[in-house]
Amino acid sequence: MTKTRTPPEVSAETAAFRSAMRDVKPLKQVPAVAAPGKRKAVVQRRATQSAATTDPVMPLEAADTLSFRRSGVRDQVLRRLRRGLYPVEDALDLHGLGQANARDILAEFLAHSRNAGSQCVRIVHGKGYRSGARGPILKVAVNTWLRHHPDVLAFTSARNIDGGTGAVYVLLRA
């Protein structure tokens, strides 16, 4: 014995609604657009948030070189920075500092340098030889902090005469 389904009873109100709507076509869904002034800020905030959450923390060795440039900074600028062709206008040495103390001093130094109009600065973080098996702690931390700092356009490991892989040249926003 097979059961047949009987359609549920339709009220007069439902039938009238369906009859009135039978020729109606649904509208295409269009994504909402942010206001023109807010769009840039939203995109920058999302980019910063995604960079902060997706940047892999790569283990670094003492001899590893660091290099970073924001989008919009030309390759030629990074090459010139790597070759030491920008005059270093100020320098900071973080040797022997703890991570929390180094982060605060670095933030103050970058703010002071930018306010003073410096374009290129050198930061000595060390190679981490005394860190043992943990690897270069300050080098990894400085690499991360500089990538997320809004005033930093680019940075690269310094020339050997200026500290080599234990220091970075940093190009600041004008």
Distance between CA atoms of residues 65 and 74, nearest Å: 19
pTM higher than 0.85, yes or no?
A: no
Lowest model confidence (mean pLDDT) among 59-63, 69-73, 89-93: 59-63
Q: Which residues, including other chains, have CB under 8 Å from residue 170's CB and lie 6 or more apart?
A: 110, 120, 121, 122, 123, 146, 152, 154, 155
pLDDT tens digits along 98-141: 899 999 999 999 999 999 999 999 999 988 776 666 668 898 89
Q: Which fold, 64-172? A: Ribosomal Protein S8; Chain: A, domain 1 (3.30.1370)
Tokens 């991360």: give the residue: 144
Q: For the chain, which residues make up each domain, given as ranges?
A: 64-172
Determine how many CB atoms are found less than 10 A away from the CB of residue 118.
18
